[in-house]
Amino acid sequence: MRGGKPYLVGTRITVSDIVIMHLKLGQSVDEIAADYDLPLAGIYSALVYYYDHQDEIERQLEEDDIFVAAFRQKNPSKLQAKLRQLRGE
């Protein structure tokens, strides 16, 4: 566990990271393995873990999304505000 989340041993990549890359962003297992220098067995193991704990991991992902939305609302981007100002919005 890393930060309370399951991860691939020897890396800082969580099962959730693999799920997002593969199932949400549509990257193939081969692409993920090549991009992050991971063994295919590790990626498949992460996906097996996900399917065995799908409800729990989906709940964690949803909680993360809620946290990010709340953080963004409380901490608006100064860069985005400046860009809007420059565009006259």
Mean pLDDT by 10 residues, the chain (89 residues): 82 94 96 96 96 95 92 88 89
> Considering the domain boundaries, does residue 81 fall inside one?
yes
> Considering the domain boundaries, does residue 38 fall inside one?
yes
> Considering the domain boundaries, does residue 22 fall inside one?
yes
43-82 burial string, b = 16+ CB within 10 Å, else e?
bebbbebbeeeeeebeebeeeeeeeeeeeeeeeeeeeeee
> Considering the domain boundaries, does residue 4 fall inside one?
no
Q: Provide the number of structural domains found in the chain.
A: 1
pLDDT the model gives residue 2 = 63
> Considering the domain boundaries, does residue 32 fall inside one?
yes
pLDDT the model gives residue 80 = 86
Within 8 A by CB and 6+ apart from 86, the residues are: none
Single out the residue of 13, 21, 17, 6 nearest to residue 56, CA to CA.
Answer: 6
Single out the residue of 24, 66, 18, 78 nearest to residue 42, CA to CA.
Answer: 18
> Considering the domain boundaries, does residue 9 fall inside one?
no
> Considering the domain boundaries, does residue 10 fall inside one?
no
> Considering the domain boundaries, does residue 8 fall inside one?
no
Domain of 67 in residue numbering reads as 15-87
